[in-house]
């Protein structure tokens, strides 16, 4: 009788643990986000999906297919238990159309919450957002759209539309991250469209890739397309910049520096570098870029460099529409300069021979 009782107690406890683990088990596999959906693998909002990740963690790769619609939500995603370069988390449009899945909020209208962007990734790693519009529609100029902070790593933004207000101080701001990738996105509006590692004085961010994006409609009276600080191993390639004061500005970047094949329409300076250092054996590259400089005054530069070393400048094209300098160098810059750069004054729509450089 005693053994039978012990057996029943043990069985009941095992069943309890089994059902507990089902209810609170780690996520793995494919799920949906659909306000009209149902079932154990559907979440009715981004917020519910993020809460499940925070509560349960993951035991394998997780994909959320998001139904078309506008989601008025403000998300902060913290570290996810179990995530790794193998166990990744992906939020993607189910229809594969970034214009049909819109994550947005109006926090910029509220003086007490405008510092919280539409999406924040905090201390998190290995998350991908794909084919989604991430938008800030608040009216306050300081409102942000997207922030990564506290050393996020291995995150990717692919084929998205990331949209801020015309006068916003930044669409995307990173702090101390590593191994993050931004490819095939539209970044639209903002005084500073993409600000990276602004506050880092000692710690270098590593392995940042910004490739094949369109950076559009940023402020022509002082706005930056890319404003990058303190990165070790940086690739900025095949991007298109439209109608901003400054296109690419990098400062204190080291080792592998690859600024190649970008098309830049600017009003002040197309490419600016300051205290950036390649290596003697593998110099940084500023090659095969096209800068169209539209300033109506005799100031500004196609390429402006200061205090750099071991950078190769070659096969670039600069069209000056109304004065300014095609290339300006100051403060003892040591570099390899190629006679194959082509500089055209006053709107001449020319072009020279090209040679591809890769690093």
> Following DSSP, what letter does each residue of 319-347 receive, concatenated?
EESSSSEEEEEESS-EEEE-TT-EEE-TT
Residues in Cβ contact with 305 at an 8 Å cutoff, skipping those fewer than 6 apart: 272, 273, 274, 311, 313, 327, 328, 329, 330, 333, 335
The domain locations on the chain are 30-272
Q: Determine the Cα–Cα distance for residues 317 and 337; give it in Å rounded to an integer.
A: 14
Surface-to-core class of residue 110, CB atoms within 10 Å of its CB (0-12 exposed, 13-18 middle, 19+ buried): middle
Question: Is the pTM for the entire model greater than 0.75?
Answer: yes
Q: State the pLDDT confidence band at 127, using cuts at 50, 70 and 90.
A: very high
Tell me which of 180-194, 203-217, 260-274, 340-354 is least confident: 340-354
DSSP 3-state assignment of 228?
strand
Give 208-251 pLDDT, tens digit per residue.
999 999 998 666 666 788 989 999 999 999 999 986 788 999 99
Give 68-80 pLDDT, tens digit per residue.
999 999 999 999 9
Domain range 30-272, CATH class:
mainly beta
Which tokens in the block code for residue 274? 């300051």
Residue indicated by tokens 């500023």: 286
User: Chain-wide mean pLDDT for the chain?
Assistant: 80
Other CB atoms within 10 A of residue 221 CB: 9
pLDDT of residue 304: 87
> Following DSSP, what letter does each residue of 243-277 receive, concatenated?
EEEEEEEEES-EEEEEEES-EEEEEEEEEEEES-B
The β-bridge partners of 72 are 104
């Amino acid at each position: 009788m005693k053994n039978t009782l012990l057996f029943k107690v043990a069985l009941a406890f095992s069943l309890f643990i089994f059902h507990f683990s089902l209810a609170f088990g780690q996520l793995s596999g494919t799920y949906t986000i659909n306000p009209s959906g149902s079932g154990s693998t559907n979440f009715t909002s981004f917020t519910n999906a993020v809460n499940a990740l925070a509560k349960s963690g993951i035991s394998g790769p997780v994909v959320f297919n998001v139904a078309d619609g506008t989601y008025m939500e403000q998300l902060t995603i913290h570290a996810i238990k179990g995530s790794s370069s193998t166990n990744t988390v992906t939020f993607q449009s189910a229809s594969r159309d970034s214009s049909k899945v819109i994550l947005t909020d109006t926090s910029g209208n509220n003086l007490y919450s405008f510092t919280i962007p539409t999406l924040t990734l905090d201390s998190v790693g290995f998350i991908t957002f794909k084919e989604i519009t991430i938008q800030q529609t608040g009216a306050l100029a300081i409102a942000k759209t997207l922030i990564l902070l506290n050393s996020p790593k291995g995150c990717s933004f692919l084929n998205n539309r990331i949209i801020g207000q015309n006068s916003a101080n930044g669409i995307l701001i990173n702090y101390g991250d590593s191994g993050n990738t931004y490819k095939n996105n539209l970044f639209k509006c903002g005084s500073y469209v993409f600000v990276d590692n602004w506050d880092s004085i000692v710690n270098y961010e590593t392995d940042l890739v910004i490739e094949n994006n369109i950076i559009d409609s940023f402020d022509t009276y002082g706005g930056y397309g890319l404003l990058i600080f303190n990165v070790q191993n940086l690739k900025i390639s095949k991007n298109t910049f439209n109608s901003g004061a400054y296109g690419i500005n990098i400062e204190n970047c080291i080792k592998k520096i690859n600024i190649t094949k970008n098309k830049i329409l600017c009003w002040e300076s197309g490419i600016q570098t300051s205290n950036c250092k390649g290596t003697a054996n593998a110099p940084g590259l500023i090659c095969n870029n096209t800068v169209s400089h539209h300033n109506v005054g005799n100031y500004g530069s196609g390429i402006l460099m200061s205090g750099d070393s071991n950078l190769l400048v070659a096969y670039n094209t600069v069209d000056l529409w109304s004065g300014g300098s095609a290339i300006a160098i100051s403060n003892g810059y040591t570099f390899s300069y190629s006679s194959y750069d082509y500089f055209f004054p006053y709107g001449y729509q020319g072009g020279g021979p090209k040679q591809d450089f890769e690093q």
